[in-house]
Amino acid sequence: MKTHPLIKKIEQAGLIGRGCGTFPTAKKWQAVLNEKEKEKYVICNASESEPGIFKDEFILNNYPEKVIDGINLAIKTLGARKGFIYLKPSYYDKFRQKLEVLIGDDKIELFSKKLGDYIGGEESAMINLMEGKREEPRLKPPFVTSIGFLNKPTLVNNCETFYDIALIDRGKYEHERFFCISGDKTLPAVFRFDEKITVKEAIRKSGLYPDFPFFIQLGGKMSGTCLRRDQTDDLSIKYYAGLFIHSYEKDEKQLIRSWLKFFAEESCGQCVPCREGAYRLYNLYESGGYDKELFTDILFTMENTSLCSFGKMATVAISSYFKNIKQEKILDWKERLTCY
């Protein structure tokens, strides 16, 4: 199996995906390199649709040349025909001019997704949209590393991953990551921390440690996991792009409603568990017919039978809120499994 010195460097750095997946970057690059097909593509995912996560915006604002550098390195290493930067509409409007000047004659094209919707950031949904198809995830396998854009091997990495690649290539990578902190009574900010520090340390170092009772949602304001303060002591930030600080004083009903509404509205509708499940959860809650058993059944079904990670993630905020914050035992799925 042939490899490349840069892929070796990425592997030695232990770089993992900086989007919501945490797949080892070197393995992804190697998978595309291994493909015999001559026509290959590289896509930089800058769609960043999780509320409360805005680090890619920060990177495009402050270090766009490093992102382009990383994409060009991928094109060269993998022998790709072309690269794309896939941006959500607001980022396209904001960064188009700056990026076009920096791209110059490079083989990189900008692509704006149609709406600021969530699912368009999933790599296969993104590729469908770029091909003019319906914006919905594909069944996997095959993975996009072998059958991706125009059915050719395609490398899809997050914006921050390409930034890190540029540093790795120059020997300047220091195992840091960008981390967003925002929340109730908390101004949004992006920090660059050593990826080994804990979530608790990150909040302290940021200077944004709340002076009110709070819990956090780690990984984003919609699909992140709700955790108490004492659950953040040993948890590294390595796998997360940021956190949202919730005040205990907030209206619980509104919080739960915002999660359910988001997933009901953002489901692409392709598969029944997610389309119907998200809609029913929201309707049940809105109608006041909150039934713990039925809720548990729907959440269980969504988590275990949804076609893509969106349907599975739809259950995370609400189930972790009840388990960790309310400390209510409503979602003991092992017990519930005996019914199936």
Does position 84 interact with ligand SF4 (CB under 6 A)? The reply is no
Among 52, 70, 137, 219, binds ligand SF4 (CB under 6 A): 137
Residues 114-133: x where in contact with ligand SF4 by CB under 6 A, - otherwise, as a string: -----x--------------
CA atoms 282, 127, 69, 75: torsion sign: positive
**Distance between CA atoms of residues 258 and 264, nearest Å:** 10
Using the structure block, give the residue that is written with the tokens 């997946």.
Answer: 21
Among 274, 299, 316, 317, binds ligand SF4 (CB under 6 A): 274
Among 136, 160, 164, 303, binds ligand SF4 (CB under 6 A): 136
Looking at residue 69, its amino acid is D
**Distance between CA atoms of residues 333 and 324, nearest Å:** 15
Among 80, 103, 227, 268, binds ligand SF4 (CB under 6 A): 268
Instruction: Identify which range of 76-84, 171-179, 192-200, 270-278 contacts ligand SF4 by CB under 6 A.
Output: 270-278
Q: Which residues lie closer than 8 Å to 162 by C-beta, 6 or more apart?
A: 44, 66, 67, 68, 69, 70, 71, 74
Residue placing its CB nearer to ligand SF4 in the complex, 49 or 320:
49
Does position 20 interact with ligand SF4 (CB under 6 A)? The reply is no
Question: Could you tell me the end-to-end alpha-carbon distance of the chain, in angstroms, rounded to an integer?
Answer: 45
Does position 267 interact with ligand SF4 (CB under 6 A)? The reply is yes
**Distance between CA atoms of residues 145 and 32, nearest Å:** 5
Instruction: Work out the number of other CB atoms within 10 angstroms of the CB of residue 211.
Output: 6
**Distance between CA atoms of residues 132 and 182, nearest Å:** 35
Residue placing its CB nearer to ligand SF4 in the complex, 255 or 271:
271
User: How many of the chain's residues bind ligand SF4 (CB under 6 A)?
Assistant: 15
Among 30, 77, 161, 270, binds ligand SF4 (CB under 6 A): 270
Q: Which of residues 296-315 bind ligand SF4 (CB under 6 A)?
A: 306-308, 310-311
Instruction: Identify which range of 25-33, 42-50, 262-270, 323-331 contacts ligand SF4 by CB under 6 A.
Output: 262-270
Q: Are strands 154-158 and 41-46 parallel, antiparallel or unpaired?
A: parallel
Using the structure block, give the residue that is written with the tokens 């001019």.
Answer: 97
The site for ligand SF4 (CB under 6 A) is made up of 119, 136-137, 267-271, 274-275, 306-308, 310-311
